[in-house]
Amino acid sequence: MKDALMDIQDLENTLKIPKKTIRNKLSNGTWPIQPVRIGRALRWRESDVAEAIANLEKDRGRCPEARRQTLTPIGPADEPGRSKRAGKVQS
C-alpha cells in the first residue's frame, strides 16, 4: 500500500502550525520531518508525520521536569547600561 503525501497546507492543518513557521524551520534546518521533493514541490508522507507526532508525545511524557523549567531570554537589552528601546549604551 502506498503512503499518502501531504502538501504544506495539509501539514499546517494537521499540526496547527502556520505555513510561515514550517518554511522558516525548513530553511534553517530545524524542521524534524524530512520532506519528499517532487520537482519543485515539497510533500510529506503521512506516516512520517504520524511518527513525528508519536515521538513528540513519547518525549513529552518522558521528562516532566523539563516542562516546569522556565527560560528567561538574555539579550543586549538585558545587560546593565543598555537601553531596551534601541540597544544603545546609556551614559
- Side chain identity at residue 51, one-letter code: E
All structural domains of the chain with their residue ranges: 5-78
pLDDT digits (tens, 9 = 90+) for 32-49: 899 999 999 999 999 999
Compute CA distances 63 → 30, 52, 53, 57, 72, whole Å.
21, 17, 16, 11, 20
Dump pLDDT digits (tens) for 64-77: 555 544 444 555 55
* Three-state SS at 59: helix
The DSSP call for residue 69 is: -
The answer to whether the CB of 5 falls within 8 A of the CB of 43 is yes
Give the strand order in the sheet containing 36-38.
5-6, 41-45, 36-38
Percent of the chain predicted with pLDDT > 70:
65
